[in-house]
Amino acid sequence: MIACTYWVVAQNGSRFDVGEFIRKDLARPLFEPYGFCGAWTHYASGQSAVLGLDLPAYAVATVLHSVMTRQTSCVDALTTPRGHILSAAFVLPLWFFVGLSIRRLAQRRWHHRAEGRIRRASIALGLIPLPFGLLGLLFSLVGLFVSDIGQSIRLAGIAFWTLYVAALAAERLRIWPFDGMESPAQPVLEVEKPA
């Protein structure tokens, strides 16, 4: 998807040499401070899809980049070839753990219900993104008709992550659709004692 973005830019911009841009960017140090946000932010559909689907990976890479350079960075600064390499290190672990949690939810192996006021209150903070996720999903659908597809894809990705966080919080608080459901009992294996 990122390669498609570079191809689109190369086709539309006669002065933009994609190969030279990638070579020059990769020749620089990985943790070089950018000094500004918005390094290379040509958000075509490919770039927007990657940023939306892997947003937590980009966020962690941004924090790591900020710590290593001792300078405030931003997600847009990691849309360069060096930034994609740094973010790619977090993409596989991110989707591995997301896949495990989605599998657990699909098999109805719920976590134990959160107990205690402080713990429940802290988990309830995860429900705050819920209305923003629903709005993002609505705007992404509307954006298909009134805006470019890249913006819609990015909004859909952000909506997915906000709804995902809200679903995990709802599971721990036993809020709909998890209310009244208990974890299925684990089968007990009977072991025959030797005579």
Compute the distance between CA of residue 46 and CA of residue 11 in angstroms, rounded to an integer. Answer: 15
Angle (CA) 85-81-13 rounded to 5° is 155
Q: Which two tokens stand for residue 164?
A: 């995902």
**Strand, helix or coil at 93?**
helix
If you average pLDDT over residues 14-23, what whole number do you get?
80
Q: What is the pLDDT of residue 71?
A: 85
- Where is mean pLDDT largest: 8-12, 121-125, 172-176, 184-188? 121-125
Residue 77 vs residue 97, higher pLDDT: 97
The answer, yes or no, to whether residue 164 has pLDDT greater than 90, is yes
**Mean pLDDT calculated for residue range 91-115:** 90
pLDDT single digits (tens) 46-59: 777 788 889 999 99
> Is the pLDDT assigned to residue 146 strictly greater than 60?
yes
Peptide bond into 93 cis (omega under 30): no
Judged against a pLDDT cut of 60, whether residue 147 lies above it is answered with yes
- What whole-number distance in Å separates Cα of residue 75 and Cα of residue 99? 24
180/173 Cα distance (integer angstroms):
11
What residue has token string 């495990």?
Answer: 100
Q: Specify the 3-state DSSP secondary structure of 183.
A: coil
Higher pLDDT, 95 or 52: 95
Mean pLDDT of the chain: 82
- Closest by alpha carbon to 40, among 56, 61, 16, 57? 16
Higher-confidence residue: 2 or 141? 141
